[in-house]
Amino acid sequence: MKKLGFLLGIASLFATMVWLYLGEEAPPASVSPFSRPQPGSAHDPAFDPVLEGAKPHSSAARGNERETPARGGGKSSAAFNSVKARQEHFDRLVEQSADSLWSYWQQLLNDHQVAQLEMATYALAHKLRQPGNEEIYSSIAEVLRESSRSTDQKRWLVDLLTETATSEALKVVLNEAVNSRPSGLQRLLLEGILKMTNNRWGARFHPELSPVLEEIWNQRPGDWELLLTVATGIANAGSERGAILLLRAVANGRPTLTEVEKGKNLPALAALRALRKVRNPEVVPILAKELTHADLKDVVFMASGDALAAMGRTEATEALLEWAKQAPGEATPLVEKWFRQIRDSVSLERLHKDLLQNKPFHSEQIKETLAVTLKEIEPVVE
């Protein structure tokens, strides 16, 4: 009991930190909750050890399989006594129809059967990712709006939608977030949007989520929390159209970077911050194109370079390197700033190789600065 309380406390603290910094968090979800896909390693941008520890396929969760008290109080539920038993139960769940599983899930929610509810959540999310479940999504939205439901029960509903992470699930959460008053529930919904857009189930990005967020972008230009959540969700989803939307928002009125950072134009500031969360390498060509601006102070140029530097992908590093080879000497401070953020070993190996092969640079000053910067970088050990 004490161990579970400690784990839940850590998870709660992490959720607060995520809201403050809008960091990435959700690990990729596989069909089975007991086998973690390769992309969900500690070096994957979507992997988080605290959240991973709460999932039944993790060693942290398997170490607490006796009695699991209900979240926020209620009846205890005997968990399964082995990983094999849990897997077999999960397999039986996913054999049911989505309608039956949704009814079973609601029963568990009402009875506070937490151990079974966690398992049923993964199974139902898997079923809801399949087409033809519009009525169930509508039903979930209705239950979420029920005033008789406790905050804890609504948290389970949001968790279910977050785990599902489809366009339909996002619409439900987003609609409730937009139409609810500022409250603990609204904060929970906004956090759910961030987790959902970072949920790379199927070991891939989900740019199909972006249009849902793009539709309500800038509807409330004065609502900072909603703006930043929507902008970051667009960046997390990583669609090309979404990246263009964010770049245009930054460029609105052609302000300087300093002017944007002062926050007079909230949509521009939200977009600027969100672009640093882009991780989908398919967006790299769009960002790289913006590096062709001659004006080093251009706000779109700066935003694109910052996004590429923060991406942590080989494709992004390649784009920055190609720019650096042609950049004038005045860009030296930017070279140091952007390349100092690179940590992945593959990118660093490529950069060292180019320098050793004495590839031509327009500016020797930039080449020397890059060489010095690389010597000071400690790569992430994979």
186-239 pLDDT per residue, tens: 999 999 999 999 999 999 999 999 999 999 998 888 899 999 999 999 999 999
Mark out the alpha helices in 215-344 (DSSP H runs): 224-237, 240-251, 257-261, 266-275, 284-289, 299-311, 314-326, 332-339
- With a CB cutoff of 8 Å and minimum separation 6, the contacts of 301 are 290, 291, 293, 295
Q: What is residue 273's predicted lDDT score, i.e. its pLDDT?
A: 97
**Amino acid letter for position 327:** A
- With a CB cutoff of 8 Å and minimum separation 6, the contacts of 21 are none
Q: What is residue 65's predicted lDDT score, i.e. its pLDDT?
A: 29
348, 318 Cβ separation under 8 angstroms:
no
Q: What is residue 79's predicted lDDT score, i.e. its pLDDT?
A: 56
Which string of b and e fits 112-121 if b means at least 16 CB within 10 Å? bbbbbbbbbb
Give the C-alpha separation, 346 to 344, whole Å: 6
Q: CA angle, 212 as apex, 32 and 267 as ends, to 5°?
A: 120
Give the C-alpha separation, 45 to 134, whole Å: 31
Give the C-alpha separation, 139 to 257, whole Å: 45
Provide the phi-psi class of 254: left if phi over 0, else alpha when psi is between -120 and 50, else beta.
Answer: left
| Token reading at 211 | 């249009």
Give the C-alpha separation, 364 to 329, whole Å: 8
Around Cβ 289, how many Cβ atoms within 10 Å? 12
Q: What is residue 343's predicted lDDT score, i.e. its pLDDT?
A: 82
End-to-end CA distance of the chain: 35
What are the beta bridge partners of residue 124? none
pTM of the model: 0.79
Q: Is 57 exposed, middle or buried (0-12, 13-18, 19+ CB in 10 A)?
A: buried
Q: What is residue 15's predicted lDDT score, i.e. its pLDDT?
A: 43
247, 291 Cβ separation under 8 angstroms:
no
3-class DSSP state of 28: coil
Parts of the chain with a pLDDT under 50:
1-78
> Helix, strand, coil shares of the chain as percentages rounded to 5?
65, 0, 35
Give the C-alpha separation, 360 to 367, whole Å: 9
